[in-house]
Amino acid sequence: MSGGVDSAVAAARAVEAGHEVVGVHLALSRMPGTLRTGSRGCCTVEDSMDAQRAANIMGIPYYVWDFSERFKLDVVDDFIAEYAAGRTPNPCMRCNEKIKFAALLEKAMALGFDAVCTGHYASILTDADGNKELHRAAAWAKDQSYVLGVLTADQINHSMFPLGATPTKAEVRAEAAERGFSVANKPDSYDICFIPDGDTKGWLGERVAPVTGNILDREGNTLGQHDGAVAFTVGQRKGLSIGTPAADGKPRFVLEVRPITNTVVVGPKEALAIKEIAGNKYTWAGLAPEHPDVAFPCHVQIRAHADPVPAVAQVVSTTAVTGVLDSVELRIIPNEPLAGVAPGQTAVVYVGTRVLGQCTIDRTVSAVPVAVTASVSTDTVPTASVPTASVSTATVPTASASPVPVNA
């Protein structure tokens, strides 16, 4: 129970459904703030008190469990490391994967609980054979199935999302008010909870030392200097401060961040279009496809608030493309090239409303080939085998040798 309206109503519904419910607030910081300020941040003492008051009203016990150390290691430090490695991580997914449905669930099961119940907007349905499936929420605008895409079958079997079928958030707020919860009109929380002022760049700047490096074009020519590759994200246009204009006079965008050589690659907007996404850290949210190595139609969503786009996906065992021996990856080919994709993001694969699985993106292929005369930059994996496309990867080859789904 975060102290917000969703988890309070979810708990109340679980109580009414006849479950024996205990309210647990996760302490994710050793030094929580005292008061909530606006809609930013969470896990303040005030939030904990809000959660406790809701638990009091529904008459259930309430405890604070301290996951601050796990959270720091698995979410905060991971967030910093991912940025430092030139990727764009989603800490909320990492928190679901490592804390809420892992550390918390494990501890709860060991203490005799059967499931973790949260206020996420998503649905768990059961197929004809009794297998649990993760689906989008009825309220499309509030649907949070994307950030739950990291859940595995085992985790889904021990999860409950009582808000999944609720058509609107307004209805949840009305129900909270009816139940007498003080949090009925509490603002939604946005942003990253451990960066309370919302200044992600500034926060990262204090933790990842910026080092001056080169800005390159796709052909490998140096166009200028940057003050630290980590400050750039794929798709960024502003703040490049390149003196010479592009030959075609068009604006240039960040196409790639290469932390190993501390370089930033820029190019025309068209080059941001991605025709292939792949990642070798993939999981299935429930029953795995019977033949995952046979390409199947699906939709892929690459950000929490992005629209899903039609695609085909398959699991490919290969040594040639990534240069990593015995690599097994989930490869997703959108029907139309897709913009706004960066390594580190999570690609969630849907079939209809069902969340089938996900991968952390570690490889993308641009739809626009590099000019034939291009000199090939040295820190990417071999491009010779794919002469018609530039391959972008932020993965250190030796660090990506996990061929099996993670999150066991």
Partner 1 sequence: MAGMVVYLDHAATTPMLPAAIAAYAEAMSVVGNPASVHSQGQNAKRMLEESREIVATSLACDPIEVVFTGSGTEAINLGIKGLFWARAPRRRILVPGGEHHATLDTVEWLAQHDGAIVEWIPLDHEGRIDLGALADAIARDPLDVALVSVIMANNEVGTLEPVAEVAALAAANGIPVHVDAVAAYGYVPVDFRTLAAAGVSALSVSAHKVGGPVGIGALVLGRATTVEPLIHGGGQQRKVRSGTQDVAAAVSFAVAASAITVEQRAARQPEGAGGVKTVRLAALRDRVIAGVARVAPGAVLNGDPTTRLPGNAHFSFPGCEGDSLLFLLDAAGVSVSTGSACQAGVPEPSHVLRAMGRSEVESRGALRITLGHTSTDADVDALLAALPAAHAQALVAGLADRVPGH
> Binding residues for partner 1, per CB under 8 A?
25, 27, 30, 32, 44-45, 48-49, 52, 61, 63-70, 73-74, 98, 102-104, 106-107, 110-112
Which residues 6+ apart lie within 8 Å of 213 measured at CB? Answer: 225, 226, 228, 229, 261, 262, 263, 264
**Residue 360 · residue 267 · CB < 8 Å:** no
In the complex with partner 1, which residue's Cβ is closer, 98 or 186?
98
Cβ distance to partner 1 smaller for residue 18 or 112 = 112
The answer for 113, left when phi > 0, alpha when psi is -120 to 50, beta otherwise, is beta
Judged by beta carbon, residue 45 or residue 240, the one nearer partner 1 is 45
| Residue indicated by tokens 């800490």 | 91
Which residue spans within 101-178 are E strands per DSSP? 116-117, 122-126, 132-136, 159-160
Pick from 121, 109, 90: nearest CA to 24 = 109
d(CA 8, CA 257) in angstroms, rounded, equals 41
Q: Which residue's CB is nearer to partner 1, number 66 or number 270?
A: 66
Residue 362 CB, nearest approach to partner 1 (Å): 19
To the nearest 10 degrees (0 to 180), the angle between helices 45-58 and 5-16 is 20
| 314 or 407: CB nearest partner 1 | 407
Of 66 and 197, the one with the shorter C-beta distance to partner 1 is 66
Contact in structure between 216 and 255 (CB atoms under 8 Å): no
Number of C-beta neighbours around residue 292 at 10 A: 18
Q: How far is the CB of 115 from partner 1 (least distance, A)?
A: 16
Nearest distance in Å: CB 403, partner 1: 18
**DSSP bridge pairs for 267:** 253
CB 218 within 8 A of CB 267: yes
> Is 298 a known active-site residue?
no
62/284 with CB nearer partner 1: 62
Provide, rounded to whole angstroms, the least separation between the CB of residue 19 and partner 1: 15
95, 117, 298, 359: the catalytic one is: 95
Structural contact between residues 144 and 100, judged by C-beta atoms closer than 8 angstroms: no
C-beta separation of 139 from 168 below 8 A:
yes
How far apart (Å, rounded) are the C-alpha atoms in residues 293 and 316? 6
In angstroms, the Cα distances linking 202 to 29, 37, 189, 220 are 19, 19, 20, 29
Among residues 42, 43, 117, 193, which one is catalytic?
Answer: 193
Look up 42 and say whether it is catalytic: no
- Cα separation, 68 vs 280, in Å, equals 29
Q: CB of 279: closest distance to partner 1 in angstroms?
A: 19
Distance, CA of 403 to CA of 407 (rounded, Å): 12
* Amino acid code (one letter) for 39: S
User: Rounded to the nearest whole angstrom, what is the least distance from the CB of residue 67 to partner 1 in the complex?
Assistant: 6
Q: State the minimum distance, in angstroms, from the CB of residue 110 to partner 1.
A: 4
> What token pair was written down for 201?
């760049």
Q: Which residues are catalytic?
A: 95, 193
